Amino acid sequence: MPKEDSFFDISIIGGGAAGFFCAINIKKNNPDLNVVILEKTDKLLSKVKVSGGGRCNVTHNCLKNDLLLQNYPRGIDALKSIFEQFSVADTILWFENEGVTLKTEPDGRMFPNSNSSQTIIDCFLRLCSKFNIKIIQKCNVRSIKSNDSQIQIISDDLVIYSNKVVISTGGYSNPESYQWLKSLGILIENPVPSLFTFNDKNLVYKHLAGVSVQNACIKIHNTDFEYSGPVLFTHWGLSGPAIIKLSAWAAQYLAAQNYVFTIEINFLNSISYEKTKDELLIFQNKNNKKNIIANPLFEIPKRLWEMFCTQSMIAPERSWAECGKKNREQLARLLTKNTFEIKGKTTFKEEFVTCGGVLFDQLNPENLALKSNEKIFFAGEVLHTDGITGGFNFQAAWSTAWVVAKEIAKIINNY
């Protein structure tokens, strides 16, 4: 039998990025409140610790909300009003005020100056201690019950009572993890993983692991899903920013295909097959004596060009004078319409997010309270929103947690 324990004004379920940020901001707005964080494991902020390769990509230097929103495959309508209340600029200022200066990398990702995720953890733990936020670890919340005045929170060992509860339990691609929320009548979009790399069934290019093309265009056959950017060959298939971002946009479709699908890559991005054929002929006419394999065109990396030439039956000693129409056509096809059969996926540097979770329709869009029970709030990845890589997922965690915190402090102030 769980032990009947204490009362807290606010209980936060989940000791991750959103849970801590919410707890701290509640106390900043209203230091008199009694706040507890309930964490199921014996670790706190474990994803923050490993995030960004141990550096924590805190946010993205994208100061215009309309541009920021373009990095969220799901949840864009809901995030609009959330980001209006707490933006990237607010995030940067918030951390700066707490002594954590962020720096921007050339691609826009922002990290703590220290290059260490521990800086963020230390900052949060210091503030928890300063504001006297109680943290209970190994507290796996199994259910909550609500009556007119209070919420009863039931874990394996404890029963806690609160006026308000924030559910910030993160994302899980296993639907079972949402069962306790479903049993409360909360509507959940079926969870599937997002942000992954593609396993190439045939592995024809396996020996090119490490080779990348800076601006390719990848399309998923028989769909409108396409993405342009860097592509990287790996031992298991294809990776790189364009592949990982495409996996996010197509996460639900790819799950429905059981990760068996075909992609077409144009390694020249927007240059068509026809135009490429023409350009190869023009080049051939002007450079008759040049060796083909030794002189890559279109800034294609040397090893990839050699592979394409070999696949086009162009022998190493051949000059352009010896290149036939069929060779040119095959080369143009491999450059612009190269197909890969994908079977399966692989996690990218252990980073992943969940597509799916608590549906926004049932929440007040301004403060993320459950419309049917305004004592229950949601923040972070438990919500049905997810971003591509680059700091966008933490930004959603900070912003959703902040609006919840502001609302809770306001309501309680009115008691």
Ligand X SMILES: Cc1cc2nc3c(=O)[nH]c(=O)nc-3n(C[C@H](O)[C@H](O)[C@H](O)COP(=O)(O)OP(=O)(O)OC[C@H]3O[C@@H](n4cnc5c(N)ncnc54)[C@H](O)[C@@H]3O)c2cc1C
Nearer to ligand X, 244 or 293 (CB): 244
Nearer to ligand X, 13 or 307 (CB): 13
Of 36, 141, 181, 314, which one interacts with ligand X (CB under 6 A)?
Answer: 141
Nearer to ligand X, 205 or 352 (CB): 352
Nearer to ligand X, 37 or 231 (CB): 37
Of 29, 34, 50, 161, which one interacts with ligand X (CB under 6 A)?
Answer: 50
Of 57, 163, 239, 399, which one interacts with ligand X (CB under 6 A)?
Answer: 57
Q: CB nearest ligand X: which residue?
A: 16
Report the site for ligand X in 202-241 (rule: CB under 6 A).
none
Of 10, 11, 12, 16, which one interacts with ligand X (CB under 6 A)?
Answer: 16
Report the site for ligand X in 380-399 (rule: CB under 6 A).
380-382, 391-394, 397
Of 27, 28, 47, 406, which one interacts with ligand X (CB under 6 A)?
Answer: 47
Residue 351 contacts ligand X per CB under 6 A: yes
Residue 140 contacts ligand X per CB under 6 A: yes
Q: Which two three-digit tokens encode residue 235?
A: 């031992």
Residue 193 contacts ligand X per CB under 6 A: no
Residue 14 contacts ligand X per CB under 6 A: yes
Q: Determine the length of the chain.
A: 415
Region from 119-127, 318-326, 347-355, 370-378 binding ligand X, contact rule CB under 6 A: 347-355
35-38 and 338-347 strand pairing = unpaired
Q: Report in angstroms how near the CB of residue 263 gets to ligand X at its nearest.
A: 24
Residue 38 contacts ligand X per CB under 6 A: yes
What contacts 24+ positions apart, CB below 8 Å, involve 407-412? 407/366, 407/367, 407/368, 407/369, 407/377, 408/10, 408/26, 408/164, 408/166, 408/377, 409/25, 409/26, 409/29, 409/30, 409/33, 410/29, 411/164, 412/9, 412/10, 412/30, 412/33, 412/163, 412/164
Distance CA 305, CA 302 (A): 5
Of 39, 189, 200, 407, which one interacts with ligand X (CB under 6 A)?
Answer: 39
Angle at 208 between CA 205 and CA 209, to 5 degrees: 105
Residue 41 contacts ligand X per CB under 6 A: yes
Question: Applying CB under 6 A, which residues contact ligand X?
Answer: 13-19, 38-41, 46-47, 50-52, 56-57, 139-141, 168-170, 350-353, 380-382, 391-394, 397
